[in-house]
């Protein structure tokens, strides 16, 4: 992911004229990516999450309530509440948890079943959470086709998720190891295509930003970094390393392809710029976060051993 996202963005910008014609295919490519992810999640994993409803609820509060409020406050202070850039920053925090979060949680010794189930549940709730969150913060300042957004989210998120879970259940989980050698690589290609096509779509608008980039780039780094911090410190009361790793990555990473699709489909193209920048930033920051977690927990482990001795 660290390489795929920036390379796909670069290809989209460089070959904008050639790739722009494929933008209408994005929802269908994204639906396939969602289906591939959902095949790995069964009802058993969802039931395991239901046994810990407070963890799930608190994670969603951190990611979809506290983080958007922080993004709205900081963005409004710098650009003004009516700026399309603020819409982009808020949209990044409201969109569902990202599929790539599962990879980082696994590498950092978090709970893979928990994050996988939370991604599925959060994606299923997105037709309600995304339009409601935007309306609540911006009121009439942002005009959106709410019904159209809900319909598209149902097509590219909810339906593939339901089909994937159903296939997992009907085959008792046997379908994933059978299709994964083929579906996985194709899913990566579709994911890269989604990012590249949408980058091609916003390329003409990037040249009009001028001096705004000097403010947008640092703000993007700050907001993405704060999302990781909100998850890490917000989960500290659980005093559980596995949960803290899982929730901090859930808070820091979002469904980047969906963010671009929604930004371009329902908002000003300028709103997509912070989303694209956040896409580029969240993966490198995931690496930094992984390094920081290892340092923190290794130091704790050393302190506990010294205390016992």
Question: What Cα–Cα distance (Å) separates residue 286 from each residue in 1, 107, 176, 221?
Answer: 10, 11, 26, 12
SS3 96: coil
Q: pLDDT digits over 31-70, tens only?
A: 887 788 777 767 666 666 667 788 889 999 999 999 999 9
Domain with residue 152: its CATH number is 1.20.1530.20
- Asked if 84 and 105 touch (Cβ cutoff 8 Å), the reply is no
Is 96 inside any structural domain? yes
Is 300 inside any structural domain? no
Q: At residue 234, does pLDDT exceed 90? A: yes
Work out how many domains the chain is built from and give that number: 1
- Asked if 9 and 280 touch (Cβ cutoff 8 Å), the reply is yes
Is 159 inside any structural domain? yes
Give the H/E segment covering residue 53: helix 53-61
Is 6 inside any structural domain? no
- Domain range for 137 is 25-294
Give the H/E segment covering residue 2: none
Rounded-to-integer distance, Cα 168 and Cα 307, Å: 47
Q: pLDDT digits over 102-120, tens only?
A: 767 877 878 877 887 787 7
Is 306 inside any structural domain? no
Is 14 inside any structural domain? no
Is 307 inside any structural domain? no
């Amino acid at each position: 992911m660290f390489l795929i996202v920036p390379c796909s963005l670069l290809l989209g910008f460089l070959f904008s004229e050639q790739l722009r014609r494929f933008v209408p295919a994005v929802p269908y490519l994204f639906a396939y990516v969602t289906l591939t992810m959902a095949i790995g999640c069964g009802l058993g994993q969802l039931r395991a999450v239901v046994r810990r409803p407070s963890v799930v609820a608190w994670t969603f509060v951190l990611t979809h309530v506290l983080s958007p409020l922080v993004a709205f406050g900081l963005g409004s202070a710098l650009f003004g509440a009516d700026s399309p850039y603020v819409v982009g920053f808020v949209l990044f925090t409201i969109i569902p948890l990202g599929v790539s979060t599962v990879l980082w949680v696994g590498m950092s010794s978090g709970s893979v079943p928990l994050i996988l189930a939370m991604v599925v549940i959060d994606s299923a709730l997105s037709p309600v959470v995304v339009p409601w969150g935007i309306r609540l913060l911006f009121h009439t300042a942002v005009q959106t086709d709410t019904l159209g957004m809900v319909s598209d989210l149902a097509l590219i998120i909810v339906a593939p998720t339901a089909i994937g879970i159903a296939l997992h259940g009907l085959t008792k989980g046997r379908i994933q190891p059978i299709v994964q050698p083929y579906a996985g690589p194709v899913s990566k290609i579709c994911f890269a295509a989604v990012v590249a096509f949408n980058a091609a779509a916003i390329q003409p608008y990037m040249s009009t930003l001028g001096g705004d980039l000097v403010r947008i780039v640092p703000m993007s780094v700050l907001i993405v970094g704060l999302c990781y911090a909100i998850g890490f410190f917000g989960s500290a009361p659980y005093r559980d390393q596995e949960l803290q790793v899982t929730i901090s990555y859930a808070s820091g990473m979002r469904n980047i392809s969906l963010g671009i699709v929604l930004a371009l489909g329902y908002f000003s193209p300028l709103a997509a710029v912070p989303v694209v920048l956040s896409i580029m930033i969240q993966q490198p920051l995931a690496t930094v976060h992984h390094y920081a977690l290892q340092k923190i927990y290794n130091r704790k482990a050393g302190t506990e051993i010294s205390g016992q001795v």
